Structure 1
Amino acid sequence: MSTRTDEGRYPAVEELPELVQQVLDDPETTKSVAGHVRWVHHTIEKALEREDYKERYGTSMRALLGPGATALCELTDSGELRLRGFKNRPQGVTASQRRRSSVLRRLAREADVPSGAISYPKPPRKPTMPAWARSQLHNGLKKQVEKRPSDPGLARLLVVVGLVLDAAPRTGELCTCGIGDLAPDLTWVKIIRNPQAVASTHHLTEVWPVSPITQAALEHWLPVRAQLVTGLQGGARSLLVSHGHGAYRRGTPLGRKGLIESYVAQVGELKGAVTGVGGKGWELPEGLEQLRLGVQEQRRSYNAEQAAGAKTPQWGPAVVLNPLLPEEGERKKTAAAMAKAALAVDAFHAARASADDETDPKVLRARRTLRETTRALWARTDHTTTLKLLHQAKLTNDDLAAAGYKEPLLDTLERA
């Protein structure tokens, strides 16, 4: 607790809270960064409780954020100022060290004084998967999905791995993925991109094709997930939910930390199980981010080969919804998608009426068109809008399968 004597002798002690608030009030300060700023503020306050530190660096903001920042880094690295009380010195450069220095430099810029924060070297990036490992990964995923595992954690892991292989979402993007982000026939998935260091709340929505392997993993996971959320109030719209392992309540949405922890645990169990029966082990990376980076590297190599004229498969989103584009153009595209879906329903009824049975080529073509237009409408709207239009176009619930709607998804949407 500062006193009037402190105010005269140590003005930096009184000025620090106001400086921190200025940074927190900055519109460019994201919620995540704000948490880091408060954390560093508490660390500085802890250091100022030491009379020697306050005597030396509390005399001005120039001293506190200049040589005082250097001393703060050294004290924290040695374990003397760790807020959780750990005394061991970290092995190598940690993310916390780099994050703390970044905040100290930000405070110094706000105070218009030179920063003394230690600049830590960026740690070497963990190696991602080689091309041969990615091929084995697809094969291993297919084998595991075909077994239809009863373990909820493994069933969920297969969905996570499949979605990362298909669309390379970040962990946070996976956590925000909901039931409504799955296409009616599970062949597409919406990923709301939320790149790091972007403060804007307006983000691209990319609609990615989903591989047959991932579709099978989703079809198996949805009924398992339904059992986990039974009787749960709230959270029923999240795609990835807890199976009640550890501190996470059964059926609750998985957050970023929970997803990372569950990935590590399930990968370890799966590798052990496969190796224990004489297999080579599954070539999954230890971390979820390593898996994503490996997929991104593969995508970049595909793009480079295409630019060079090679006939490699197209790898990219089927639809991109940009909130920064003119609304009028987006409304026209949505209206066109609605009109096409309504016409496809009419064509489907007409083909049925003129055919002898459901195997008639006319009916099969009409069914395929209906499925494609339904999926395109969902991509630009949502399931509520899509189902409402189909019903208004006189498509009965019994015929929703013709529009591509999978029964497990319909059941999950109804519960949600």
Structure 2
Amino acid sequence: MTESVAGHVRWVEGTLRRALEREDFRNRYGKSMRDLLGPGATALCEMTDNGELRAKELKTPPKGVTASQRRRASILRRFAAAAGVPSGALSYPKPTPKPTMPGWARSELHNRLQDEVDRKPSAPGRARLLVVLGVVLDTAARSGELCTIGIVDLAPDLSWVKIIRNPQAIGSPLHITEVWPLSPITQAALVNWLPIRGRLIEDLEGGASALLVVLHGNRAFHRAGAYKKGMPLKVRGLIDSYRAHVQELKAEVTNRGESGWELPQGLEQLRRGVEERRSTYDSDRRAGARTAQWDPAVVLNPLLPEEEEKKKTATAFAKAAQAVTAFHQAREAAGGDETDPQVLKARRTLRETTRLAWARSGHATTLKLLRQAGLSDDDLAAAGYNELLLDALERS
């Protein structure tokens, strides 16, 4: 059971407890698990549909079919299956997804993002939002996938990112890792964010590995406990902060007299808008149109034969080691002239092979490989390693 599902179980358990505190419900359905999870589950669904049994007294009227109703019914069915009794949980139709954004807005999004990144915002919330926008536009990552991205998941030159895909309704712990190229806009957003992130994690004890971190501490106690700034950003915090910072950004753009910034209010709407754009690319490609490729650069699938994956990794390591040797030879032949075409070509090859070696392993293994091949720490920039990333890796 994932942490998310465990949270849903505790949530539904609380609802059941509040229902059983009512004498009429307890007398009617509290005598057996068959009663509680059969007709009792039906009554529970109807009560919650009417806005009853809320943990907090809310004045807002109950909505139509929501994701919460579907989730509650799903957990009730899990309870019944575990107890070996028939489930009385209601079945709800899947709600209509919220609209994403018009096609023209999707086309304008990268241009608008470029303008904001070029401003190099110093406000932590804005800098983090631009990283989120860039990564979603490049990879269509879900909110949960964004929160699992760590410093180690960024390529040496920040041009790729590893995304551990975790689609909904997949209970297996084995997930495919996709390595996606990042646009120059997103790379620039990362360069701006990493120093800000470094200041946020200064007061943390121990390592700090998350890419997206909390901006402000929270002294209030809740189920997950209090947290401090610099700690990893959770899914709920990401969703709420996205909504707040998008509103702030739209207001600021409007005050500047600009128009056309049609960002969706929800992060999931943005992701689905990116997927719609991807579907359009695929349709055009099948029809013979020459469109940009939108695919991961590397896919690490745990379901593939282990020997096949090991062979690919060994080949990537061998090419990186050979590139280090070729780089030193080109330097020596050029007499130390770093602008020599052969040195530039060797540097480019070294950068590409280093990035591929990282994609199939990680930074610790790749750095060890480069040093064993004879590349000094002073030459890590030639292999593409960004100094900001190296600082963040050392801190983590």
Cα distance in 2, alignment partners of residues 340 and 203 from structure 1:
27
CA deviation map 1:176-224 (0-9, x unaligned): 1011111111111111111112121111110001101111111111111
State which of 341, 346, 350 in structure 2 corresponds to 1:366.
Answer: 346
Match of 2:374 in 1: 394
State which of 325, 347, 356 in structure 1 corresponds to 2:326.
Answer: 347
Match of 2:214 in 1: 242
Cα distance in 2, alignment partners of residues 414 and 42 from structure 1:
43
State which of 334, 358, 369 in structure 2 corresponds to 1:378.
Answer: 358
Q: Does 1:405 align with 2:394?
A: no
Cα distance in 2, alignment partners of residues 39 and 240 from structure 1:
27
Match of 1:157 in 2: 129
Q: Show structure 1 runs of 5+ residues with no match.
A: 1-28
| AA matched with 1:334 | T
| AA matched with 1:128 | T
Q: Does 1:176 align with 2:148?
A: yes
SS in structure 2 at match of 1:259? helix
Match of 2:183 in 1: 211
263-272 or 43-52, which moves further after superposition?
43-52
State which of 225, 235, 238 in structure 2 corresponds to 1:259.
Answer: 238
State which of 27, 48, 51 in structure 2 corresponds to 1:55.
Answer: 27
Cα distance in 2, alignment partners of residues 64 and 397 from structure 1:
65
SS in structure 2 at match of 1:285? coil
Contact 1:270 1:282 in 2 (8 A): no
Cα distance in 2, alignment partners of residues 250 and 42 from structure 1:
30
| AA matched with 1:358 | E
Match of 2:112 in 1: 140
Offset of residue 61 of structure 1:
4.1
Cα distance in 2, alignment partners of residues 363 and 30 from structure 1:
50
| Aligned length, in residue pairs | 388
Cα distance in 1, alignment partners of residues 271 and 129 from structure 2:
14
CA deviation map 1:324-382 (0-9, x unaligned): 22221211211111111111011011111111411111111111111110001000111
| AA matched with 1:178 | G
- What is the TM-score when the length of structure 2 is the normalising length? 0.92
SS in structure 2 at match of 1:206? strand
Match of 2:40 in 1: 68
Change in CA separation of 1:53 and 1:273 when aligned onto 2, cut-off 3 Å: same
Contact 1:275 1:281 in 2 (8 A): no
Contact 2:159 2:182 in 1 (8 A): yes
Q: Superposition pairs for residues 321-336 of structure 1, below 5 Å?
A: 321-336=300-315
Q: Does 1:222 align with 2:194?
A: yes
Cα distance in 1, alignment partners of residues 231 and 340 from structure 2:
46
Q: Does 1:95 align with 2:67?
A: yes
Change in CA separation of 1:54 and 1:315 when aligned onto 2, cut-off 3 Å: same
SS in structure 1 at match of 2:358? helix
SS in structure 1 at match of 2:172? coil
Identical counterparts, % of pairs: 67
SS in structure 2 at match of 1:398? helix
Cα distance in 1, alignment partners of residues 47 and 153 from structure 2:
47
Change in CA separation of 1:108 and 1:36 when aligned onto 2, cut-off 3 Å: same
| AA matched with 1:131 | G
Contact 1:228 1:251 in 2 (8 A): yes
Contact 2:108 2:260 in 1 (8 A): no
Cα distance in 1, alignment partners of residues 50 and 164 from structure 2:
41
Q: Superposition pairs for residues 269-284 of structure 1, below 5 Å?
A: 269-280=248-259, 282-284=261-263
Q: Does 1:117 align with 2:89?
A: yes
Question: Cα RMSD between the aligned structures?
Answer: 1.9
Contact 1:272 1:281 in 2 (8 A): no
Contact 2:105 2:260 in 1 (8 A): no
Change in CA separation of 1:235 and 1:300 when aligned onto 2, cut-off 3 Å: farther
Contact 2:207 2:395 in 1 (8 A): no
Change in CA separation of 1:245 and 1:295 when aligned onto 2, cut-off 3 Å: farther
SS in structure 1 at match of 2:304? coil
| AA matched with 1:33 | V
State which of 256, 260, 285 in structure 2 corresponds to 1:306.
Answer: 285
Match of 1:185 in 2: 157
Change in CA separation of 1:242 and 1:54 when aligned onto 2, cut-off 3 Å: closer
